[in-house]
Chain A
Amino acid sequence: MAKRIKVLVGKPGLDGHDRGARVVARALRDAGMEVIYTGIRQTPEQIVATAIQEDVDAVGLSCLSGAHNNLFPKVVNLLREKGAEDILVFGGGIIPDGDIAGLKEAGIKEIFRPGSSTDETIKFITDQVNQ
């Protein structure tokens, strides 16, 4: 039997729109994954502490407020500090083209933008976790 994949879907930052995050959470569940949903307005510290307690395979971050360049790398760095750099981090939301390279350099493995299908996200997580 394949390993049961566990993913945290978190919303760092101050925007209160979690429709996108909920859609992703549901798609991951329907793909057989166990999804920890932490709700809106989480600090990177809260997200990282939760990811560690839940021992997830991956953390998906959604941010629409424009603060992704600050918040996403912070999550990656905090995971590193806690010795949990093996947890995969990916992101989504409204992210300008120009920011993507920098985010990837900071350790965010992939960025999914509005319009990309949830199937892509599912395939990405499955491939990364099983590799």
Chain B
Amino acid sequence: MTAIIEGMLNGNVRSLAKAITIVENDRPGKKELLKAIFPRTGNAYLIGITGPPGAGKSTLTDKLIALLRQQGKTVGIIAVDPSSPFSGGAILGDRIRMQQHALDDGVFIRSMATRSHLGGLAKTTVDVIHLLDAAGKDVIIVETVGVGQDEVDIVKIAHTTVVVMVPGLGDAVQIAKAGVLEIADVFAVNKADREGAAKLVNELRAMLDMSTGDWKPDIFSTVARDDVGIADLLAGIYQHREYVHGKGLDQVKFKSNVRQELCTYLMDGIIELANSYPDFEQLVDNIYQKEITPLEGAEKLFKKMGVKNNWLTTGGDDAEKN
């Protein structure tokens, strides 16, 4: 383990790759590894790139990598794709578009399957971001598939979220309904070579003009396939970075992220503990038979754990207020 930690912190590619596997597969040594690298995190600039399948996210990422490399920045990429709900397997093909960077030491690309985790990310994506961050990548790009608000957890993590849209997927009203307007810091209308792109840009602009937020997302037309509009897009991304940095929002975000991580571990731990009680299944049955409510079931379990839980006792009232 020490060799892997030292290796990855000193730029050894195979060590970094092995470290990611340890984290992704919950292998022994994960805790030690994360502890060793955690103090070195928090330096990378995190860009999320999300949008519907086939919008050109990977192609766009490929072109952004090239530009970032020209600027002398090292880049880490995490390309997340959904696992098959049937077999649990996955075909991870985002790299196809990025293979021109395969031999560049300054670029590290890793594919991840969601492994049935919801929200567009794998459960361990955040830890993998920590690893790339600690390994010294200046910029980390996370590509995820997502269309609606519920699918894009990356928004909570990334400093800047780029939503990639394409003409022909519906009008701006539908886009607004999916909640896309709220999650984008920057819009890329890709496949601008296609009919309807200008119209989509105008519709988006009209909707965004009505928004009242502090930050007004800019819209960039791109033809990722032909490397058109990428420099402007990157400039727009960096403009948002300035804004985030100037307001100290990156620190706010980092803190809320570590809070979220803490809560995730707590939740996992509590559920595991509950599952370990021999009468857990009996309790599920009792609920199933309508002898008790799920809320009462949880209450019983918390009592067993010796946890006094105020939310549970007032839960019903709070729910009503909602």
A contact residues vs B (CB 8 Å cutoff):
3-4, 25-26, 28-39, 42, 45-46, 49-50, 52-55, 82-84
Contacts and interface: CB of A to CB of B under 8 A. Distances in A.
B14 A34 contact: no
B87 A31 contact: yes
A37 B14 contact: no
A96 B113 CA distance: 36
B14 A45 contact: no
B14 to A, nearest CB: 5
Contacts of B113: 34
B79 to A, nearest CB: 10
B1 interface: no
A131 B110 CA distance: 26
Choose among A3, A26, A32 the residue with the greatest number of B CB atoms under 10 Å from its CB: A32
Interface in B46-92: 83-84, 86-92
Contacts of B86: 30
A38 B95 contact: yes
A29 B90 contact: yes
Contacts of B92: 34-37
A39 B91 CA distance: 12
Nearest to A37: B93
Given A3-B25, A52-B17, A53-B110, A30 B87 contact: yes
Contacts, number: 80
B89 A49 contact: no
B96 interface: yes
Contacts of B264: none
Taking residues whose C-beta sits less than 8 angstroms from the other chain, chain B's interface range is 20 to 34
A76 to B, nearest CB: 16
A97 B132 CA distance: 45
A50 B88 contact: no
Nearest to B96: A39
Describe B's contact surface by its main secondary structure. mixed
Given A32-B89, A82-B14, 14 more contacts: A4-B88, A4-B115, A29-B87, A30-B89, A35-B92, A37-B95, A42-B99, A42-B102, A49-B13, A49-B103, A52-B13, A54-B110, A55-B14, A55-B20
A54 B125 CA distance: 14
Interface in B100-141: 102-103, 108-111, 113, 115
Contact of A37 (B84, B91, B108, B115): B91
Nearest to B22: A55
Given A49-B102, A53-B108, A25 B91 contact: yes
A53 B17 contact: yes
Contacts of A55: 14, 17-18, 20-21
B87 A37 contact: no
Nearest to B97: A39
